[in-house]
Structure 1
Amino acid sequence: MAETTITAQRLKELLVRLPHECIGIDLRGVARGKYAKVILKHLWWLVRNPDTSLNHRKRAQIIFITLAFSAASAASGVGYAIYTLISRLRARTFGRTPVMRRTRSQVMLENGARVMYVPYEENATNKKRILISPKSDDMYEHDKFLFKYFGKNKISQVFYSKFISQLNIISRILVPKVTDQNSILLIFQIFFLVMRTWLSLFVARLDGQIVKDIISGNSRKFLVDLLCWFLIAFPASYTNSAIKYLQRKLSLNFRINLTRYIHDMYLDKRLAFYKLTFDNQASSSVIANIDNSITNDVTKFCDAICSVFANIAKPVIDLVFFSVYLRDNLGTVGIVGIFVNYFITGYTLKRWTPPLGRLVSQRSTAEGDYYNYHLNLINNNEEIAFYHGTKVERTKVNALYDHLMDQMLLVDRVKVNYNILEDYVLKYTWSALGYAFASIPIVIATFSSGVNNEDVNMREFIVNKRLMLSLADAGGRLMHSIKDIAQLTGYTNRIFILLSVLHRVHSNVYNYGATVEEGEDSSGHNSLTSSDIVRGTLQRNFNGIRLENIDVVIPSKYGKDGTRLINKLSFQVPPVITLGNGNSDSNLNINKKLAFQGPGSSMLILGPNGSGKTSIQRIIAEIWPIYNKNGLLSIPPASDLFCVPQKPYFIQGGTFREQIIYPMSADQYFDMGYRDKELTHILGEVKLDYLLKRDKGWRYLDAVAEWKDVLSGGERQRINFARIMFHKPRFVVLDEATNAISADMEDYLFGLLKRYRFNFITISQRPSLIKYHDLALDISTDGTWRLQNLGTDEVITSIEKEIEMLENKLKNVNVWEGERAALMRKLAHI
């Protein structure tokens, strides 16, 4: 018992003496409850008073920094705990979690606004509808003037006007305004970078003091300084973690901003993703590998720019702080000598830096080619299997892979000599010079005084050596950043090309890759604009489909002088335009069995392959331009027009319901009050209701599969008719929509269109479809065309003549069968 009392008394005396040894405060006579208040007050006095002991003041600063970081961490933890507790209490009280989680559900409205559906809790069926204001097309129209061409890229240089200009323009997307979240993150990152450098100065001084304590054998000061070392370790570790987190967070935010900016142009009502294929002015590697550019290049660019910023900002801050501190020890001559060494090293490394920007861009292109070919194998695996084309495909894939490996090895190969020079200069030459510069003040002081104070000299040498090594490390990282900047130029150039092309394609006056004539007007701009190339007139909200004097020309760099498929095409469906909806009752509810007065208008477009039949649908859908200035296209509103392509499209990874209602999303489907009973009726109308009789029943609508592989060719085409019945457009354009369907089902589906009085245009090569249409547009390979009313005597006579000709051919069937039997007998004797 007595020993325990003595131990407790000694411990109490040690705790009382420790503040005196550390910060020079005597706590004897102070009540225990006032220890914290008295110590904090004394620490504040030490920090503010420059006349106090240097060691006490330095330790007070260390304690204050540690307390500040500890308080910030504790406050964050307590705040998060309180927030979690309140959230759980509210969830129990109101039966739901107030924290919303973003989902992939997103709907684009007609005005460009987005509607997102956010569940209240995980796997919840109840969702909150959130409206996001529409993007401004004016912003993209304005930004396109920023993404102009700067001339040839001087890859061999690092800091050149084109790179700086490109980075400056892209930065407006990454950090759109001063009050943006990314601006705050940048400020915090700079703050922690400065804090880390300041803490490094503390650690360097403390390191020298600890060595001095060890050399002098002062155990008390050694223990006190060692305690300060453990205290300063916490804010130093916190700072390093914060810098890494902020760098990663900033990279993700940059990627979010840049990806959304790209998606808003690439996937909107102007169909830039389709029109990109006609752009001949862009870099072929970026356009050919657009998927790789949007995914991999954006990620690499954002990571690279954040890494370069950290790798440049930290060394620059270190150079400034360490230089100011070392100037007092080494003098101005020593600091000037250090920076002269840096400039010589920078010039040497820059001169020997390989063209990493160009090599990185070539490597990205090779990666995109290799990735795209594998994607092509996946999309066409069945066709390749039928042809047994494995050998050819393997040869092609191996060639692309070998090219990719060559590009990757080339980047590493050109770095060998550079890395040898870099390591020799930065690691060994600078370390040797660091020892030489650190010894200068000791040699001068010893020579001038004639006295060698080993304790003081040891401390000064340790501090100077540590700061010199830190300064050398900062300079080394700054030199290493030259290589990082060279790689960043490659990523920046690819992203800039991608954005430039998207702005050009997204423009309202896009010229579809037509070459603009050289020459400038008085204002310095090209004399020929896009509006001079695409000069046709488009009329929307028309009560029908009308084409007047339209030359169907394949979009190319030649513009209106390109390949012309059809000359001066003119037709109108329905032939007589009325102000009301009397020509079609397809807007009526298809579930109601009504007696209609008559069918809608219909037209059949006939012609051989390559005559331009599908091109007419492309013009109606506004994805091909009208070049001739006398050409007029009049189309109904987008909600009244439905174009069915030759190859039915199915959403990857979508439910069966989403395939039927495409292009409507599932959330919009339920939000508008639709029910699955209507889809069941529609499937019955197109004779696909047997699909729901499979093992899942009605739940089959929620089944997820690769539907383009699950459904047969005829079933896929009938899904197109189900989409027509669901969306109920007044006008439908069908391109070879029944070539995989049996004759009886084809007859039924066209009768269905007539029964519900749709206006429809059918594109086909089969004259047998004439019986389902009122008009026939016959196109020849020489660009001429003829429009006929199928109800006229002329057309009826021509059809009768064709029937008579077929009957005459059938009379010779017996003769042909006799000839065939004779040939078979001859074959048997061979």
Structure 2
Amino acid sequence: MPTKISRDRPLKNDPSPSNFNKFWDSVRAIVQPYWYPTESGERVFSDVIRIWGMLILLIVLIIALVGVTAFNSFVTRYITDVIEEKDYPNFIKTIVVFGAALVCITLLNGFSKLVRKKIALDWYKWLNNHTLSKYLSNRAYYRINFRSDVDNPDQRISQEIEPITSNALSFSAIFLEKVLEMTTFLVILWSISQFIAIVLIIYTIVGNLIAIYLGQQLSKINQEELELKAEYNYCLTHVRNHAESIAFFQGENQESNIIQRRFSNLLRNVERKINWENNQELFDGAYKSAIQIFPYLVLAPIYMSGQADFGEVVQASIACNQFASAMATLIREFGNSGRFSSYVERLSEFSEALEAVSKQPENVSIIKTIEENHLAFENVTLQTPNYEQVIVEDLSLSVQPGEGLLIVGPSGRGKSSLLRAIAGLWNAGTGRLVRPPLEEVLFLPQRPYIILGTLRQQLLYPKTNRQVTDAELKEVLQQVNLQNLLSRVEGFDTEVPWENILSLGEQQRLAFARLLVTHPRFTILDEATSALDLKNEGTLYQQLQETKTTFISVGHRESLFNYHQWVLELSQDSSWQLLTVQDYQNQKTITYNSTENTGITLDILPNNEPQKQLEILTQKAISEGLSHKEMTELTYYSIKTIRSKASKGESITNKDGLTYRYDKDPKVLKWVRGTAGIRAK
């Protein structure tokens, strides 16, 4: 779907209280179902216990790591004193302890990172499946395409879920570890010099304020980077999906301009990011260096005056260094947290949109769907999903088993929309739709859906686990004139990019092959033979009739009349008429001849009995006026439309081009011929 980016909307990383609360609501919505499931079926209890056990293990490992690191600072202090005293036996013992502590630090650090990544992987697996379940349930993947505020759902799933889990676990673990380190080494410094500890606390507060400012700017830049990458990725995907059309138009230069424009926007954002990251790195380096120098400035004079031993100076230096390193890491993580918050906002927005499109809007009318073993519309008025336009009004018809119904009408009049209603994709409106279970219906669109899979899976889709022999599949390919397809691939279990190697006509024949394999009871065809020649079209429809399936087709070709019994014509004003194929063709012949040759009289045309009735009604309109029901026989309108036009005072033109108006005089209340119609006569 097209990417829609609004540069005028407020940035999501705006630090106002309302946006901060909204961010934490988004975090809670993502975190809670995994860590604190409250609804039954969200998570298996044993999985929750297992993951909490791993989390507790991670916390224990981090505490142990900080403890051993702090312990090693005392060992370092003791080693320094031993070396200064030249006590070789104690030096050997201490260095062994020091080495063992280093081994423990290495193992604890490595094992804690492993556990952290395992938890993140498990969370990513669950969150991805949870989001996919929402995306593929209740046809949300289809309905969300009508939401212009949600761009690139594919990227949000494939590229923006994993960073949430990995960043969340990484940030949480690092935050806990570094806060513990800073607290521990601050206590150690306090025991050595309270002055140094107090200065560090003040220094930390100032540093945090600067870090928060830098982090906010990077958060805004990261948010824009995500959106610009989505735009750039979409335009490249668009070129791949429409490669043939672009090649026909020789539109490479135009496409290159579009791609370059979006890439330039991305580059400008990257340059801004580089500058801000450079500022942050300079600040981190200066911040860390100043802390490392400070203890020497304070403690060196004390040591030289003999008021402190050299080990204390070394330990204080180590403590300051560890404190500075921990603080710099935290500042860096807070700077990177902007990307995390952007991912959270986008996933939360996507999740909320999926839930919204899956719910039926309240206080709106919908078409009731009844599952039975036949297909019928009962007083159905179908509207667009936003309820802004009526597609067809008061439609009532029933398709008998084994018959074919052809839907015709002007382009954009809603022919395909009726098929969407049958499939349950659109249900805005009123009335009752009776249809078989969707498992018994096969839909063949104008551009067939070609799956990513083997030739066997293409033919068996959507029930790819069906057992069909190679011989049966070869016979089906023969029936749809695709017998040469096997010579182009290595067999039924070959997987190739089918959309690239098959023409649209071959894809349509492949779709018909699915029909012959699955033998559905009901088939819906939306211009399913538009890319085929008349001979191939005739062959396919003849085989369709032989399957005894009940089918509905949408099409414009006159050749389709040969394979259907009924025609449903939709008109521009939401009215409709249902005729046999013979009556429809006769009607069109009458209309055509009356337009092209006014010397031809209608009496000599076939089926003139209905025509005599129309003439009687025409005469009655002059003398007595017509009722709503009688007007329906002169026009293509339903009674409901006739009544509506009468109430609005609108005129109606009948099949012969004569104009009628409704006389609202209480003594008349009839449709009468207009003066324009009388003059035309």
How many residues align? The count is 578
Match of 2:448 among 648, 658, 669: 648
The CA deviation at 1:416 is 4.2
Does residue 164 of structure 1 match 2:27?
A: no
Partner of 1:460: 312
CA distance in 2, matches of 1:196, 1:777: 77
The CA deviation at 1:806 is 13
The CA deviation at 1:205 is 1.5
Match of 1:547 among 377, 396, 403: 377
- Deviations 1:230-279 (Å, cap 9, x if unpaired)? 322222211121122223223322221211111001123x1111101112
Partner of 2:264: 402
The CA deviation at 1:764 is 0.4
The CA deviation at 1:417 is 4.0
CA change 1:806–1:299 in 2 (3 A) is same
The answer on whether the counterparts of 2:30 and 2:348 sit within 8 Å (CA) in structure 1 is yes
CA change 1:799–1:768 in 2 (3 A) is farther
SS state at 1:255 partner: helix
The answer on whether the counterparts of 1:606 and 1:767 sit within 8 Å (CA) in structure 2 is no
Q: Which runs of structure 2 are paired with 1:59-458 in the superposition (5 Å)?
A: 153=12, 155-156=14-15, 160-176=20-36, 179-268=48-137, 270-280=138-148, 284=149, 287-331=150-194, 335-351=197-213, 353-424=215-286, 426-435=287-296, 452=306, 457-458=309-310
SS state at 1:610 partner: coil
The answer on whether the counterparts of 2:399 and 2:405 sit within 8 Å (CA) in structure 1 is yes
CA distance in 1, matches of 2:11, 2:431: 39
Partner of 2:435: 635
SS state at 1:220 partner: helix
The answer on whether the counterparts of 1:356 and 1:490 sit within 8 Å (CA) in structure 2 is no
CA change 1:152–1:486 in 2 (3 A) is closer
**CA root-mean-square deviation:** 2.8
Partner letter of residue 292 of structure 1?
Q
The answer on whether the counterparts of 2:423 and 2:438 sit within 8 Å (CA) in structure 1 is no
SS state at 1:689 partner: coil
Partner of 1:492: 344
Does residue 612 of structure 1 match 2:464?
A: no
- Deviations 1:769-816 (Å, cap 9, x if unpaired)? 11211110111223221111236xx446447658989999xxxxxxxx
CA distance in 2, matches of 1:552, 1:232: 75
Partner of 1:700: 491
Does residue 624 of structure 1 match 2:624?
A: no
SS state at 1:395 partner: helix
- Deviations 1:439-469 (Å, cap 9, x if unpaired)? 69x57xx98xxxx27xx70112212221222
- Deviations 1:558-581 (Å, cap 9, x if unpaired)? x32x1333333332212xxxxxxx
Q: Which runs of structure 2 are paired with 1:521-600 in the superposition (5 Å)?
A: 530-533=361-364, 535-555=365-385, 559-560=386-387, 562-574=388-400, 583=401, 600=402
SS state at 2:376 partner: strand
The CA deviation at 1:491 is 2.0
CA distance in 1, matches of 2:256, 2:433: 48
The answer on whether the counterparts of 1:645 and 1:734 sit within 8 Å (CA) in structure 2 is yes
Match of 2:323 among 464, 471, 489: 471
The CA deviation at 1:154 is 5.6
CA distance in 2, matches of 1:662, 1:646: 17
Q: Which runs of 5+ in 1 are unaligned?
A: 1-150, 510-529, 575-582, 584-599, 809-830
Match of 1:689 among 473, 480, 483: 483
- Deviations 1:28-53 (Å, cap 9, x if unpaired)? xxxxxxxxxxxxxxxxxxxxxxxxxx
Aligned-residue sequence identity (percent) comes to 23
CA distance in 2, matches of 1:796, 1:304: 67
CA change 1:753–1:173 in 2 (3 A) is same
The answer on whether the counterparts of 1:542 and 1:634 sit within 8 Å (CA) in structure 2 is yes
CA distance in 1, matches of 2:265, 2:548: 58
Partner letter of residue 617 of structure 1?
L
The answer on whether the counterparts of 1:774 and 1:789 sit within 8 Å (CA) in structure 2 is yes
TM-score, L = length of structure 2: 0.79
Partner letter of residue 395 of structure 2?
L
The CA deviation at 1:632 is 1.8
Q: Which runs of structure 2 are paired with 1:753-768 in the superposition (5 Å)?
A: 753-768=544-559
CA distance in 2, matches of 1:498, 1:695: 42
Partner letter of residue 289 of structure 1?
N
- Deviations 1:105-148 (Å, cap 9, x if unpaired)? xxxxxxxxxxxxxxxxxxxxxxxxxxxxxxxxxxxxxxxxxxxx
Does residue 731 of structure 1 match 2:522?
A: yes
Does residue 783 of structure 1 match 2:635?
A: no
The CA deviation at 1:658 is 0.8
Match of 1:659 among 458, 462, 483: 458
- Deviations 1:146-200 (Å, cap 9, x if unpaired)? xxxxx99562369932222221221124435583443233222212211111111
Partner letter of residue 349 of structure 2?
I
- Deviations 1:447-506 (Å, cap 9, x if unpaired)? 8xxxx27xx701122122212221222233233333233332222211211111111122
SS state at 2:289 partner: helix
CA distance in 2, matches of 1:799, 1:271: 40
CA distance in 1, matches of 2:140, 2:329: 42
CA distance in 2, matches of 1:204, 1:749: 84
CA distance in 2, matches of 1:260, 1:226: 51
The CA deviation at 1:763 is 0.2
Partner of 1:710: 501
Partner of 1:744: 535
The CA deviation at 1:758 is 0.7
SS state at 1:397 partner: helix
The answer on whether the counterparts of 1:552 and 1:566 sit within 8 Å (CA) in structure 2 is yes
SS state at 1:288 partner: coil
- Deviations 1:600-639 (Å, cap 9, x if unpaired)? 111000112111111111111111222x3x3222221111
Q: Which runs of 5+ in 2 are unaligned?
A: 1-9, 38-44, 598-681
CA distance in 2, matches of 1:298, 1:304: 10
CA distance in 2, matches of 1:212, 1:334: 22
Partner letter of residue 131 of structure 2?
I
CA change 1:695–1:787 in 2 (3 A) is closer
Match of 1:603 among 365, 381, 405: 405
Partner letter of residue 345 of structure 2?
N
The CA deviation at 1:363 is 0.6
Partner letter of residue 663 of structure 1?
P
